[in-house]
Amino acid sequence: MNEWINHPAMENLDPLKLELIKKAAEQTRGKNGKSLAPVMMALIHAANQKGVRFTSEEMDLILSLMKEGKSEAEKQQIDQTIAMVSSLMKTQTKEK
């Protein structure tokens, strides 16, 4: 169920980032692409509050782990959701 935790890329990840990812994984278990947006926003917000910034490589890893075991339609839905979240994040950053 949590095979992703044994992924080689997780070995060198900052413990705080790993904890945030674990929480997000628990919250996304069994959810479809549309219901992932609030979880991703919460992950990013929690990270920002703690002064943590995920690199693009780390975000790619998180997304690939979220997509494991999903159908192609669900994977596309996740990609669309992430594009929406990214757009919102960029808009919020510009407003500050």
List, for residues 16-50, the tens digit of each pLDDT value. Answer: 888 887 877 777 777 766 677 677 777 778 888 88
pTM confidence score:
0.63
Higher pLDDT residue, 1 or 20?
A: 20
Of the candidates 21, 88, 81, 29, the one whose C-alpha atom is nearest the C-alpha of residue 55 is 21
CA torsion sign for 53, 19, 66, 96 is negative
pLDDT of 33 reads 67
Of the candidates 83, 62, 67, the one whose C-alpha atom is nearest the C-alpha of residue 32 is 67
Give the whole-angstrom CA distance, residue 94 versus residue 42: 19
pLDDT grade, residue 1 (50/70/90)? Answer: very low
Q: 49-66: per-residue pLDDT in tens?
A: 888 888 877 877 777 777
pLDDT of 95 reads 58
Residue 28, C-beta contacts closer than 8 angstroms, at least 6 positions apart:
35, 36, 39, 66
The domain total for the chain is: 1
Q: Which helix (H) or strand (E) holds 56?
A: helix 56-67
Residue matched to tokens 């990840």: 13
Print the domain residue range for 22: 3-95
Give the whole-angstrom CA distance, residue 92 versus residue 75: 26
